[in-house]
Structure 1
Amino acid sequence: MTLSVTFLGTSGAVPTTERNPSSVFVRRNGDAFLFDAGEATQRQMMRFNTGFDVSDVFVTHGHGDHVFGLPGLVHTWDFNDRTDPLTIHVPRGLGAGVEDLVFSVGGDVGYPVRVSEVSAGETVLDFPEFEVRAFTTDHRTASVGYALVEDDRKGRFDRDRAEELGVPVGPKFSKLHDGQPVELDDGTVVRPEQVVGDPRPGRKLVYTGDTRPHDAVVSAAEDADLLIHDATFANDASERAAETGHSTAGEAADVASRAGARALALTHVSSRYAGDAREISEGASGFGGDAFVAHDGLEYEVPFPDDE
C-alpha cells in the first residue's frame, strides 16, 4: 500500500538554481495531494513525473513562496481539459485572497475549484482508511500544518493456527480476518480473536510548512513515521530563525525527538546554504532516528511502523 512523498520544492523564500520554492507531492495508492504550491510547482511535477491527478491542495499559509504556483497550475489543468473538481484548503481568513490570486488573471476555469478555509484541530479530509488533520503552527501570519493519518490496520492472520483449529482454506479465512466468527462442519465456532492478532497502526505523515518549534507540532507529530519540518537555518543562526518565524535544524530535531518521530525531513533551506546544506544536516545530529535534508526530486516511501 503506497504512501510516497516527492519533494518538489525545498528552498526557503528565495529559490536557488538547485531548489524550487516549497511544495510536496504525496501519493497514497490512487489518491494524490499537494502540500503548498510555490512558484513553478507544475514544472516540478512534470520534471519529476509525479502525475497531475491531484484532488486537493493543502496550503499552510499565504506567503508567496507557498502559493504563487497555484494560478499556473489551476489554469494548466484547464488547458488540459480537466473535469475533476479541485479543493484548495487554506488557513481561515485566507480564502478570499487565494481566490483572487488564482482567478485575477485568466478568469474562470472549466472545472469546479473550491477554496476551503480550515482551522487548527479540524479534520480537513476524511477518506476511507485515512484522514488529513490541520494543526497549529507558529509563523508570522495565519498558518497551519497538516497530518495525514491512516486508520489502524487489521491484525495479522495466523493461518497455521486457523488450520490447527480445523478451518478449511478458503472464504472462511477472509471472514475471520474481517472480524466475523465462522462455524465448522462439526458445529465448532471459531472466533476472530483466536486467529487474528491485535490491530496494527497505520502510518502518519506530518508536514509543518513554516514554523517555529511548537508544542502543537510535537503533539501532531507524535509517533510520526515521517515529519517534514521547517529547518531554514543552521544552528548558529538561531536568532535569525526566531526573528523570521522559522526553525533551525537543531530545533526541528528537538521537535522530532520529543514527538518520537521515526524519520525527519529537513526542508525550507535558506539560500545562504545554496549548494552545501551540510550545516543543516549536521545541526540535526541530535535526533536519534533517520534525519535527512530534503532536496528537489527526492522520493521517500513512508514505511509502516512494524516494517522496522
Structure 2
Amino acid sequence: MRMHVTFLGTSGAVPTTERNTSAVFLRREGERFLFDVGEGTQRQMMRFRTGFDVSHIFLSHLHGDHVLGLPGLCQTMDFNDREAALAVHVPPGTRRDVEALLRATSTHPAYPLRINEVRPGEVALRGDAYEVRAFRTDHRTNSVGYAVVEDERKGRFDRERAEELGVPTGPKFSELHAGDAVELADGTVVDPEQVVGAPRPGRRVVYTGDTRPTDATVEAASKADLLIHDATFADDNAERAPQTGHSTAREAASVASRAGAKRLALIHVSTRYGGYVDPLLADAREAFDGEVFVAEDGQELDVPYPDS
C-alpha cells in the first residue's frame, strides 16, 4: 500500500516566487489528506497534479499563512459539483473562528462540510488500519500537530516452514496467517506461532505545523518514518525562534534525533534564506544523523514500510 507525500507550500509566513505558504498533501492508497491550507494552495494542487479529491483537512492553527486558502478551495470543490462530505479538523476552541472565516467569504457549499475540534491526545480520525492523532504543539495560539500512525501488520508467513510441518498448500496457509490453528490429516495441530513471524510496524508520518520544540512532538514522532517539522530559522537568527513561537533547523533536528525518526523534512522556511538553504541544512546535520532535507514546493516522496 503506497503512502506518498507532496509538499505544496514550504515557506514561512510570507510566500516567495519559489515557495508558497503552508500546505502538505498526503496520499495513502485511496485516502487523500491535506495538512494546512495556506493562501494559493488550490493553485499548487493544480500545478503539482494532486487533484482536489481530499476527504479530510487538518489545520494546525489559524494563522493566515495556514488557513487563508481554505475558503477558496472549498468553493472550487463546490463549483466542481463535489458531493462527498469534507471534514476539517481544527485545534480546540477554534471551530467558530473557522466557521466565521467560511461565512465571511460566503462559503456555503452544497456538499456536507463538518468542522471537528480535536484536542491534543485525541484521535482526529480512525480509518482502515490507521489513525490520525493530534498532539500538543507550542505556538502563539491554539495549535496542534498531527501524526498519521498505521496499525501493526501481520508477521511474515514462513511458507517453507509450513511445508516442512506438512501443511498443504491452499486455504490452511491463509488460516494460519490469519491467526487460526489448523489440523492436518493425521491429527497434528499446527499453531500460527510456528509459521508466522512477529507483527511488523506500520508507517508513521508526523506534521508539526508551527511550533517550538516540544516533548509531545518527540513522543508523537517516536521512530517516525517521516517527521515534517517547523524550521523557520538557522542558528544566525536563533534568538527569533522563541520570540515568534518557531523552531530553528537545529532544534527540529534535535527533536528528530530524540524521537529516533528516520527522515526529517524542514519546512516553514523564512524568506531570509531565499533560495540559499545551506545554513539550515548544516545546522540540522550537526544534530541529526538520519536523512534530512529542506522541503521544496512540488517535492514528492514515498514513505516505505520500516522493514522494506
TM range, smaller chain: over 0.9
Give the 3-state SS of the residue equivalent to 1:246 in structure 2: coil
Letter of the structure 2 residue corresponding to residue 190 of structure 1: V
Give the 3-state SS of the residue equivalent to 2:307 in structure 1: helix
Number of aligned residue pairs: 307
Q: Which moved more, 1:207-216 or 1:102-111?
A: 102-111
In structure 1, the partner of 2:296 is 295
In structure 2, the partner of 1:211 is 211
Q: Which moved more, 1:139-148 or 1:101-110?
A: 101-110
- Cα deviation, 1:31-58, whole Å, max 9, x if unaligned, reads 0000000011111111111122111100
In structure 2, the partner of 1:180 is 180
In structure 2, the partner of 1:59 is 59
**C-alpha distance in 2, partners of 1:71/1:281?**
34
In structure 1, the partner of 2:81 is 81
In structure 1, the partner of 2:306 is 305
In structure 2, the partner of 1:258 is 258
Q: Which moved more, 1:164-173 or 1:57-66?
A: 164-173
**C-alpha distance in 2, partners of 1:107/1:299?**
31
Aligned positions of 1:82-101 closer than 5 A? 82-101=82-101
TM-score (ref. length: structure 2): 0.98
In structure 1, the partner of 2:26 is 26
**C-alpha distance in 2, partners of 1:188/1:107?**
66
In structure 1, the partner of 2:195 is 195
In structure 2, the partner of 1:38 is 38
**C-alpha distance in 2, partners of 1:236/1:126?**
42
Give the 3-state SS of the residue equivalent to 1:121 in structure 2: coil
- Inter-CA distance 21–198: structure 2 relative to 1 (3 Å threshold): same
**C-alpha distance in 2, partners of 1:2/1:53?**
17
Give the 3-state SS of the residue equivalent to 2:25 in structure 1: strand
Letter of the structure 1 residue corresponding to residue 278 of structure 2: R
Give the 3-state SS of the residue equivalent to 1:305 in structure 2: coil
**C-alpha distance in 2, partners of 1:300/1:236?**
30
In structure 2, the partner of 1:127 is 127
CA shift for structure 1 position 68: 0.5
**C-alpha distance in 2, partners of 1:262/1:129?**
22
In structure 2, the partner of 1:275 is 275
Provide the identity percentage. 66
**C-alpha distance in 2, partners of 1:275/1:199?**
44
Structure 1, unmatched stretches of 5+, are none
Letter of the structure 1 residue corresponding to residue 305 of structure 2: F
Following TM superposition, the consecutive aligned residue runs of length 4 or more in structure 1 with deviations greater than 3 angstroms are: none
Across the aligned residues of Structure 1 and Structure 2, the Cα RMSD in angstroms comes to 0.8
**C-alpha distance in 2, partners of 1:94/1:105?**
17
Structure 2, unmatched stretches of 5+, are none
